[in-house]
Amino acid sequence: MTAMTIIVIACLLYVLWAYNRLVVHRNRIRNAWAQIDVQLRRRSELVPNLVACLKGYIAHEREVLVSIAEVRRQTDIAGSNVTARARAENQLAQSLSAVTSEAAPQLRANENFLALQEELRSTENRIAFARQHYNDSVMRYNAAVAGVPTNFVARVFAFSPAAMFSTGGSPPR
Amino acid sequence: MIGSPLSPPGGSGTIGVRAHAGSAAQPLNFPPGLTIKVDFFDEQARRRRQTWRMSLACFAIALALGLAMSTLLGPILLAITAGALKFAGWLGCGDACRDAARGIGSFARQDLGLLADWFGSHPRPHTAADFVTRAPAIAIVFLPAMIAAACAWLIIRRGLARAGMLDLITAIGGRVPRSTNASERQLINVIDEMALAAGLPSPRIMIADSPFVNAVAAGPSHEAAVIVVTRGLLDQLDRDQIQGVVAHCIGGIGNGDLGVMQSMLATLHTLALFHTLLDFPFSRSARRALAGYTRAILAPRTSPAKVWEASQGIEAVFDGTPDEPPTLVMIPLLPVRVLILLQRLVLVIWSGMVLGWPLALLWRARRYLADSTAVQLTRNPDALASGLLQLAAHAGVPAGGESRDYLFVHGTQRKSGIFERSGTFMSMHPSIERRLKRLRAMGAALANDKPGRRWPLPSILIAIVFGIIAVPLLALAALLMLAVVEWSMIMATFFSLTLGLMFLAFVFR
């Protein structure tokens, strides 16, 4: 009788522990996902600075700047519509890197521009690292959801496996 | 928030530019012939297991040391409690006190009888039942001091955690980075990126104007961590290398290394504290150290510098500095003094020769763990590997940090600070070659490059002959040393037990 009680209590404690662990993992994923959005916004806010810095330095200046402004406007319009947002963000990244790589030599010596370039680079890194953290968190969470004793708890409380942030288009390698 | 967190739709995959979250520059291109032998997640799991093993070893050894020390402290604590209760009862604090004192007294007397029986009787007890019936008698000698030690450990750990070694920043002259300076601005970015990759809040960033190339993480917890980077590191390393070194620091913070170090220090401090406590009646410096340490640890608003200073005082126990000559008043207590010296000998020998190994190995495992976490964060083993090479080339710890060398990414001295004082033989850091070897196994392309040295035949022969002669000799020496240690431990325990019993018998006459 006492043995039964002990076993039941141990099982309950285990379920409690497993549930809490799953919740912690799931919250981490949510937080990581939010971080990606924060970093995307940060990049968008860098654009006016870059535009101001580039004025008077690049060829076909007007068209380029107009196109960047247009792409940025599209990211704002897209808001949380994921497919449109993704396309717009990708275009923004491409045109930004194109502009900075085509910059005139005298611009490369400009301190402001160098600082801005570092900021841009860091922002791209942040987006990449935020996504990496999201994927690492998803991996841990999925391992917990699918692992053998925990998966019963996960099924009972409806924890479903999360999707990785896979990259569209061609892989870089 | 872009969509539901648990079901990012397939299209979202194209957000962002870089598919590979490498450190900015380029995706990893593996040279032909280079393969990844170890996945960094596997390496992390391996180092975590090693951490557990070493922690367990440390715990067992600390427990053994605590048992030996509590044979002397236990009876004293019990007697003091009983005496205080008796005194309170005598003052008229009610019958409850007197009853409690009487209770302790009769319990002790009864169990002392049992214990004396156990030590004095021939033949000694052999059956398990004998041990079970006599367990309370043994427990009453050990338990009070063990419980006191456990409480002291918890309090000390809390005090050390609150101080968080933050005085190290002022000691090595850390300052806030200037965001107008390009390379310092870059450092801020790099650290923020790595914090993002680890999912940690951004740590506070400090810069020490030192030509050495090194970095260190300190702080009370992962939520309030500080990273100090030398100016030399910013000048000598490129962006990727800085990222690798910073990732080691952030990885250590995320893995909870700050807490591990606090626990290790708290263990050594508890041992030191109890020895200082035994020295209390005899030496003025012990009294001063004890008072200072208690004040610093218990203070409601801890000043890290004060905690550090007070720890220095209490760690002096390990130095074996000559004590003050006994005064006339102390002459009746001389046997106790001899005992305490004996126990101190045991403490120094055991903490250095026995506890030192697992402590150092534990910290080394944490360094490897932080290395593999750095690879996970940067996804670029080359970054840390080439960074470590630079660290080794400009090795050094900024002035003021030498005695806490073990906290830095790359330790230069073989051992330092409290670990040196307590006599640890091993270095707290793994050698740079071993770390590079592990990084290479995780895919670092560089530094592959020292071809294995071929030994000429004569030296091999000499080595074999030397091995045949020296190995048994060394083994014998080790055995002898172990025997001496064991013997001194047993003798000290035995002596202090006898003395403690006499003391108790005297109090509860």
Domains in chain A: ranges and CATH: 17-156 (1.20.1440.20)
Which residues, in sequence order, are CB contacts of A144 under 8 Å at separation 6+? A21, A22, A25, A150, A154
What mean pLDDT comes out for the span B453-471? Answer: 79
Report chain B residues whose CB lies below 8 A from the CB of A33. Answer: 1-2, 5, 8
**For A85, which of B2, B185, B377 is closest by C-beta distance?**
B2
Provide the chain B residues 377-396 that lie in CB contact (below 8 A) with chain A: 377, 379
Residue B381 vs residues A43, B41, B276, B395: alpha-carbon distances, Å: 27, 13, 47, 21
User: Residue A2's pLDDT is what?
Assistant: 86
Check if A165 contacts B (Cβ < 8 Å): yes
Check if A31 contacts B (Cβ < 8 Å): yes
Interface test with A, best of B1, B4, B6 (most A CBs within 10 A): B6
User: Residue A91's pLDDT is what?
Assistant: 80
User: Residue B235's pLDDT is what?
Assistant: 93
Report whether pLDDT(B209) > 50.
Answer: yes
Check if B372 contacts A (Cβ < 8 Å): no
**For A80, which of B3, B186, B377 is closest by C-beta distance?**
B3
To the nearest whole angstrom, how far is the Cα of B192 from the nearest Cα of chain A? 8
A28 close to B199: Cβ distance less than 8 angstroms: yes
User: Residue A171's pLDDT is what?
Assistant: 36
User: Residue B248's pLDDT is what?
Assistant: 96
User: Residue B218's pLDDT is what?
Assistant: 94
Beta carbons of B17 and A86 less than 8 Å apart = no
Question: Range with the lowest mean pLDDT among A17-26, B12-21, B392-401?
Answer: B12-21
User: Residue A53's pLDDT is what?
Assistant: 75
Least Cα distance to B193 among B234, B142, B249, B145 occurs for: B249
Report chain A residues whose CB lies below 8 A from the CB of B7. Answer: 162-163
Check if B121 contacts A (Cβ < 8 Å): no
User: Residue B450's pLDDT is what?
Assistant: 54
What mean pLDDT comes out for the span B59-77? Answer: 76
Interface test with B, best of A92, A121, A125, A136 (most B CBs within 10 A): A125
CA angle, A141 then B200 then B175, to 5° = 165
To the nearest whole angstrom, how far is the Cα of A55 from the nearest Cα of chain B? 22
Interface test with B, best of A28, A39, A76, A82 (most B CBs within 10 A): A82
Report chain A residues whose CB lies below 8 A from the CB of B12. Answer: 82-83, 85-86, 165
What mean pLDDT comes out for the span B95-121? Answer: 63
Q: Best-predicted range by mean pLDDT among A115-119, B24-28, B483-487, B499-503?
A: A115-119
Tally of CA atoms within 13 A in the half-sphere of B449 that contains its CB: 7
Report whether pLDDT(B124) > 60.
Answer: no
User: Residue B127's pLDDT is what?
Assistant: 65
CA angle, B283 then B288 then B294, to 5° = 125
pLDDT in tens, B224-268: 999 999 999 999 999 999 999 999 999 999 999 999 999 999 999
Question: Range with the lowest mean pLDDT among A36-40, A54-58, B152-156, B219-223?
Answer: A54-58
To the nearest whole angstrom, how far is the Cα of A162 from the nearest Cα of chain B? 5
Check if A11 contacts B (Cβ < 8 Å): no
B204 close to B229: Cβ distance less than 8 angstroms: no
Report whether pLDDT(B2) > 70.
Answer: no
Tokens at residue B140, please? 């009453």
User: Residue B476's pLDDT is what?
Assistant: 84
Q: Best-predicted range by mean pLDDT among A87-101, B44-58, B60-74?
A: B44-58
Beta carbons of B192 and A126 less than 8 Å apart = yes
pLDDT in tens, A71-93: 888 877 776 666 677 777 778 88
Report whether pLDDT(B215) > 70.
Answer: yes
Cα gap B268→B422, rounded to integer Å: 8
**For B16, which of A32, A93, A119 is closest by C-beta distance?**
A93
To the nearest whole angstrom, how far is the Cα of A166 from the nearest Cα of chain B? 5
Check if B190 contacts A (Cβ < 8 Å): yes
What percent of chain B is modeled with pLDDT above 70? 68
What mean pLDDT comes out for the span B319-343? Answer: 67
Give the torsion sign (CA, B218, B224, B229, B231).
Answer: negative
Beta carbons of B8 and A33 less than 8 Å apart = yes
Report chain B residues whose CB lies below 8 A from the CB of A119. Answer: 189
Residue of B nearest to A120 (CA): B189
User: Residue A22's pLDDT is what?
Assistant: 93
Q: How far is CA A167 from the centre of its chain?
A: 11
What mean pLDDT comes out for the span B497-501? Answer: 66
To the nearest whole angstrom, how far is the Cα of B63 from the nearest Cα of chain A? 28
Least Cα distance to B254 among B207, B229, B217 occurs for: B217
User: Residue B327's pLDDT is what?
Assistant: 65
User: Residue B131's pLDDT is what?
Assistant: 64
In whole numbers, what is the pLDDT of chain B averaged over residues?
79
Report whether pLDDT(B495) > 80.
Answer: no
What percent of chain A is modeled with pLDDT above 70? 83
Using a 10 angstrom Cβ sphere, with 0-12 exposed, 13-18 middle and 19 or more buried, the burial of residue A45 is exposed
Report whether pLDDT(A168) > 60.
Answer: no
User: Residue B383's pLDDT is what?
Assistant: 92
What mean pLDDT comes out for the span B319-336? Answer: 65
Instruction: Name the residue with higher pLDDT: B2 or B278.
Output: B278
User: Residue B353's pLDDT is what?
Assistant: 75
B394 close to B412: Cβ distance less than 8 angstroms: no
What ipTM did this prediction achieve?
Answer: 0.83
User: Residue B461's pLDDT is what?
Assistant: 85
**For B27, which of A97, A125, A172 is closest by C-beta distance?**
A172
Check if A39 contacts B (Cβ < 8 Å): yes
B423 close to B351: Cβ distance less than 8 angstroms: yes
User: Residue B361's pLDDT is what?
Assistant: 92
User: Residue B323's pLDDT is what?
Assistant: 61
Residue B373 confidence class, pLDDT cut points 50, 70, 90: very high
B229 close to B215: Cβ distance less than 8 angstroms: yes
Cβ atoms within 10 Å, residue B281: 14
Residue B48 confidence class, pLDDT cut points 50, 70, 90: very high
